Structure 1
Amino acid sequence: MKLAIVTAYPPSKVTLTEYAYHLVKSFRQSEKVTELILLTDETPEAKDINFTEKGCKITVKECWKFNSYGNTTKVIKALNETKPDAILFNLQFMKFGDKKVVAALGLALPLMSKLKGIPTIVLLHNILEQVDLGSAGFTTNKLAQKIYNFIGTTLTKLILKADLVAVTMDKYVTTLVDKYKVDNVKMIPHGTFEIPENPSQKLPEGPMKIMAFGKFGTYKKVESMIEAVEIVRKETALDLEIVIAGTDNPNVPGYLENAKETYKHVPQLTFTGYVEENQVEPLFVESAVVVFPYTSTTGSSGVLHQAGSYGKAVVMPNLGDLTTLIEDEGYRGEFFEPESVQSLANAIKAIVTNEAYRIELGETNYKAATAYPMERITNIYLEEFEKIIAKKS
């Protein structure tokens, strides 16, 4: 199978790049895939396709840019040139841009590829029906929220024209089927990127690292985490380092730079900036706790699956999709109330002051992560493509 994937891809700063990297890493090792065609966003640096494992040929076509009105035309042109047997879209609603028209044009691409006769699957990481538009950083204006919801419903109808729409949580399937009366939605788990064998619970010498990982500025805020760790330091006198790993959300440029300036008086506060793929593992391995300083959730969490794969204890807000993931996939963590810095401090304190509890959480999360390796996930996608191809022929 000659498989095309439309996605942002490292070293891109657009969302879902890391997920794309691990999808590609797994797909290329399948005997069913003869060539992978990456239809990616443009980046100044070369795409990261230097895999050490044996795998199929990879062709990269940089054919779209965040917030460009020409994306649709360029992607279709790339499809005409490469002629894939099947196509997978790695999407969320703001994938192609935060301008409404650009976003809409990009999300019409699955329908266009299906109309061209290409078996088409959309992996949709979030659905607007499950997003709190205010706390997720879209808008708090009630009229604007109604407009967003109308646009979101229209765009979802477009996306559902694909042969199959894959979502990462059962409740998303229920929501889409009930609202849109469709039968082409399937739950395919998020999957776990890397699964080291029996990760050690021993921490390196020096301060215990309290780490948050992601793209920050909308519903992922670092202020509460920094202030919470300061409280824990005062209450316990423990040697703690705060690690903010990642970059600004593209919609909030300059957010982390402002945070760095605001909290420059705080000792042992590290902002890593963009994390290269080969630095992800040491970042997690060296951390005692992974914190999710979120005010909202917009889908299944890749960071939670990563934390699980490295056997890490996690601190999470008691809300939305994270709570559902805990219930559905067997992860465990210490919960906090998302608007309370003291609640977050209490949750961090409960783990850093109790090594046995930290280890117990980490081992439970590792067990949950091993249930869904990426190889299993990509095999499910290939099986679904084979069903679509058989049906079309």
Structure 2
Amino acid sequence: MKIAFVSPFPPSKVTLNEYGYHLIKSFKGKPEVDEIVVLTNHLENNEAYGEYAIEGIELIPCWSFDSWTAFLNIRKEIKKQKPDVVIFNLQFMTFGEGKIPAALGLLTPLAVKTLGIPSIVLLHNITETVQLENIGMADSKLKARLFLWIGEQLTKLLLQADLLGLTISKYVDIIREKYKAENVTLLPHGNFELPERSFLPNPLEEINLMAFGKFGTYKKVEVMLDAVKILEQRFPNLKFKATVAGTDNPNVKGYLNEVEKRYADMKHVEFTGYVREEDVEGIFKASTFIIFPYTTTTGSSGILHQAGSYARACILPKIDDLERVVEEEGYGGAYFQTDNAESMANAIAPLIENPAEREKLEDMNYEAAKGLQMTELADMYLRHIQNLRQKKISKKSKNEKFDQSYSGTFVSTVQTVNEL
């Protein structure tokens, strides 16, 4: 079987690149899989993909981020590659930060359908649960309603795929009920490779609060930095550090530079910039607490799964979707009121005063990370693919039988007319 993935891939900085890397390589070595091609976005220098080359996986840059023609370029390459199935790793802004190219890119599954190739879309977020004004998509209620309507139309287009997979069970229920869709299923996020566990020193030499991601819309680091200031006052004999690991969200360029200027008086703050895949492990292992400074969520959190893989305690906002994922997948954390530094400090303080409670969360998260591994998730995809291919064969067989029956009826009718 030849599988084509449409996904960002490191060192691309397009969202979901790391997830695509881990998901795609989990298919390597499966007996059902003969060939894997990844249709990814162009870089300034496409040779940079060589750093992340994996034997047996061919990387083909064939579309550009923010291009209006990405869906046509991808369709053209898929037609050339002739895969047995196409898997899309998507969220609503995968193909561009501009609203038009982002929307046009989501036509790709429909464009692929015209080729008659089975397809699976993994969609990491749905517009029905996202506060659009908090992620930089709308600055008024009118625009929010407009973009929600557009999101609904795009969801209908994505439902043209043979199967639409969602990472959260609640999302599956919403889409099935709202769109009366039957081709929707749960495809969990899955856990990344589990590294050998590293333990924090006891006692702690430094308490490092780390936030990871793209910041400025629904992830804002001020709340973490203010919480560090509060903790420094409460625990004057302890050493604290704040690590902001990542870059600006494309919708708010310059955000982190402004934050760095405003908090220039803080001595122990590190802004790492873009974190390369090979540096992720070091960033997590150097952290004491993984902070989620979110005001809303846009789907299942890859950061949560990475925190579990590295056995770190999570400090989480009380947001319904995030709490649901944490509970469903067996993770744990201390909770704070959204965008409230005092509340965040209050959540962290007991874990500093009682290290056993922090260690309990570390153990819990590491055990949760042993759950559904990416290789098992790949098997789940392969079962779905087999079902899709069987349906296609069955449908083709029925059509052939109909054609034969119709042809026989046509010949018989002609003979009868001739006899008359």
| TM-score using structure 1 length | 0.95
Deviation at 1:339, TM superposition (A): 2.6
User: The residue matched to 1:43 in structure 2 has which SS?
Assistant: coil
Q: 1:95 aligned to 2:94? A: yes
Corresponding residue for 1:108?
107
Structure 1 runs (4+) deviating above 3 angstroms are 45-52, 201-206
CA distance in 1, matches of 2:382, 2:369: 21
The total of aligned residue pairs comes to: 391
Equivalent residue number for residue 81 of structure 2: 82
Q: Deviations over 1:62-100 (max 9, x none)?
A: 111221112122111111221111111100111111323
CA distance in structure 1 between the partners assigned to 2:84 and 2:363 by the alignment? 41
Distance (Å, rounded) in 2 between the aligned partners of 1:303 and 1:241: 19
Q: Equivalent residue of 1:251, what SS?
A: helix
Per the TM alignment, residue 199 of structure 1 is displaced from its structure 2 partner at its CA by: 4.0
Match of 2:418 in 1: none
Deviation at 1:30, TM superposition (A): 2.0
Aligned match of 1:17: 17
Percent of pairs identical after alignment? Answer: 45
SS at match of 2:212: strand
Q: Structure 1, residues 313-344: CA drift from partner, whole Å, max 9, x if none?
A: 00000003211112211111000001311101
- Report the counterpart of residue 392 of structure 1 in structure 2: 392
Aligned-partner Cα distance in 1 for 2:339–2:251: 22
1:169 and 2:164 are equivalent in the alignment: no
3-state DSSP of counterpart to 1:382 = helix
User: Cα offset for 1:56?
Assistant: 5.6
Are the structure 2 counterparts of residues 227 and 172 from structure 1 closer, same or farther at C-alpha, using a change threshold of 3 Å? same
Does the CA contact (< 8 Å) of 2:120 and 2:162 recur in 1?
yes
| Partners of 1:36 and 1:59 within 8 A in 2 | yes
Q: How far apart are the structure 2 equivalents of 1:134 and 1:29? A: 43
Residues in 2 aligned to 1:50 and 1:378: alpha-carbon distance in whole angstroms: 24
In structure 2, the residue matched to 1:274 is 274
Structure 2 contact 38–58 (Cα < 8 Å) conserved: yes
Distance 1:106 1:137 in 2: 19
Where do 5+ consecutive residues of structure 1 fail to align?
Answer: none
Matches within 5 A, 1:143-222: 143-202=142-201, 206-222=205-221
- After TM superposition, give the deviation of residue 38 of structure 1 in Å: 0.9
SS where residue 287 of structure 1 aligns?
coil
How many angstroms does 1:376 deviate by?
A: 0.9
The 3 A distance-change label for structure 1 pair 379 and 199 is: farther
- The aligned runs of 1:308-323 (5 Å cut-off) are 308-323=308-323
Give the Cα–Cα distance (whole angstroms) in 2 for the partners of residues 209 and 315 of structure 1. 12
CA change 1:98–1:3 in 2 (3 A) is same
Q: Which residue of 1 aligns with 2:364?
A: 364
CA contact (8 A) 2:72 2:111 kept: no
The DSSP-based 3-state class of the residue aligned with 2:4 is strand
Q: Work out the CA distance in 2 between the residues paired with 1:49 and 1:367.
A: 34
Question: How far apart, CA to CA, are the structure 1 residues paired with 2:337 and 2:26?
Answer: 37
Q: CA RMSD in A?
A: 1.7
Q: Secondary structure at the match of 1:314?
A: strand
Counterpart contact for 1:91–1:122, Cα < 8 Å: yes
Question: How far apart, in 2, do the equivalents of 1:130 and 1:322 lie?
Answer: 11
Give secondary structure in 2 for the equivalent of 1:220.
coil
Larger relative CO (CA 8 A, sep 6+): 1 or 2? 1
Q: Spell out, residue by residue over 1:229-250, the C-alpha distance to the aligned partner (whole angstroms, 9 max, x if none).
A: 1110111122011111111112
Matched, 1:135 2:123: no
| Conserved 8 A contact 1:93-1:126 | yes
Query: Partner of 1:287 in structure 2?
Result: 287
Structure 1 position 51, deviation (Å): 6.5
Q: For residues 87-131 of structure 1, give each alpha carbon's deviation from its aligned partner in whole angstroms, at most 9, with x where no partner exists.
A: 111001111113232122211111121221111000000000011
For residue 324 of structure 1, what is the aligned residue in structure 2? 324
What pairs with 1:217-256 in structure 2 (closer than 5 Å)? 217-237=216-236, 238-256=238-256
Q: Secondary structure at the match of 2:252?
A: coil
Q: Secondary structure at the match of 2:5?
A: strand
| Contact 1:126/1:299 (<8 A) preserved | yes
The alpha-carbon deviation at position 285 of structure 1 amounts to: 1.4
Q: Structure 2: give runs of 5+ residues left out of the alignment.
A: 394-420
Counterpart of 2:274, as a letter, is: Y
| Counterpart AA for 1:348 | I
Amino acid of the structure 1 residue aligned with 2:223: S
**Offset of residue 287 of structure 1:** 0.9
Corresponding residue number in structure 1 for 2:261: 261
Structure of greater Rg: 2
SS for the counterpart of 2:95 is coil
Matching residue's letter, 1:20: G
**Corresponding residue number in structure 2 for 1:68:** 67
Letter in 2 for 1:252: V
Shift in alpha-carbon separation, 1:236–1:204, aligned structure 2, 3 A:
closer
- Encode CA deviations 1:346-377: one digit per residue, 9 max, x unaligned: 11222233211111001001111111111111
Counterpart of 2:179, as a letter, is: Y
Could you say what secondary structure the match of 1:370 adopts? Answer: coil
> Using the alignment, how far apart are the partners of 1:219 and 1:163 within structure 2?
32
CA contact (8 A) 1:177 1:183 kept: yes
Q: Mean Cα displacement is larger for which, 250-259 or 150-159?
A: 250-259
Shift of 1:206: 3.9
SS at match of 1:347: helix
* Matches of 1:142 and 1:100, distance apart in 2: 17
Question: Aligned partner of 1:11: which letter?
Answer: P
Q: For the Cα contact (< 8 Å) 1:169–1:300, is it kept in 2?
A: yes
- Structure (1 or 2) with the greater helix fraction: 2
Deviation of residue 168 (structure 1)?
A: 0.5
Hey, what's the Cα distance between the residues in 2 that align with 1:199 and 1:329?
22
Deviation of 1:132 after TM superposition, in Å, equals 1.2
